[in-house]
Amino acid sequence: MNRLFTAENHHEVLPFWSACRREKQKALTVLTLDHHTDVVRAFRDEQRHVPAEAWQDSRQVTAAVRELRHDEHFDWALRAGIIREAFIVSHTCATVPADERLHVLCDPLWPEENELFRTPELYRSLADSVLETAYLFRQFGDLSRYGEFILDIDCDYILTAKALSPRDGTFFRSLIRQAAMVTVSLEKDWVRLLRFPGETLTSGEILQHLTSFF
């Protein structure tokens, strides 16, 4: 469990990633599970400079976290030399990735987000399957292609309680077992807003279930 680190907001995992970068002395790939991702330019500012060696200075990382929002930390981490690329399994993607090293993997079975909110029951079986081996392998493929990686989970990826008890969780367990580090963002409000009708899931319950896979 000493490889598991939690934060409330997604961008607040950045100090953990940078600590891993300093420990490994190399930039790793990040594999992320998220409901929706806003992989835009850090600080929404095309001109703002991010020092390429910022990963070496924990104070710079802490200062950046105070200004970053949502998923801007992906772009900042790339520009600061903390990570080398990211593959983000997402149910929806509303933005164009800020960098070509940010790869959003959105399964075509998911509808546009407004449709998902209007008719969630049509997609409940899909939401139930997001930790299943067949689903995750379809997104990521063979894990050996990524080299050493960080596994990053946003709790709002889980929309139903049933998703936390996959019939075949082999691939998900492999993700956890092979990860150099696992970061989990709780995102309590988003979990509450996005969970399917009739669900009572909280981020705390999701975290508890996730730790059972270790």
Residue 31 has a pLDDT of: 98
For residue 47, what pLDDT is reported? 66
**Domain membership of residue 74 as a residue range:** 4-211
194: closest CA among 113, 126, 87?
113
The Cβ of residue 19 has, within 10 Å, a number of other Cβ atoms equal to 16
Helical (H) or strand (E) element with 103 = strand 102-105
Question: Reduced to 3 states, what is the DSSP secondary structure of residue 126?
Answer: helix
Mean pLDDT per block of 10 residues along the chain (214 residues) reads 87 95 95 87 73 83 88 90 95 80 92 89 96 97 96 97 97 96 96 95 96 91
State the pLDDT at residue 46: 65
Residue 147 token pair: 């080299």
| 190 close to 37: Cβ distance less than 8 angstroms | no
The total domain count for the chain is: 1
Run of H or E residues at 136:
helix 133-140
The per-residue pLDDT for 192 is 96
Q: Are 4 and 184 in contact (CB under 8 A)?
A: yes
pLDDT of residue 73: 92
Instruction: Work out the number of other CB atoms within 10 angstroms of the CB of residue 147.
Output: 10
The predicted pLDDT at position 194 comes to: 94
Q: What is the residue type of 142? A: D
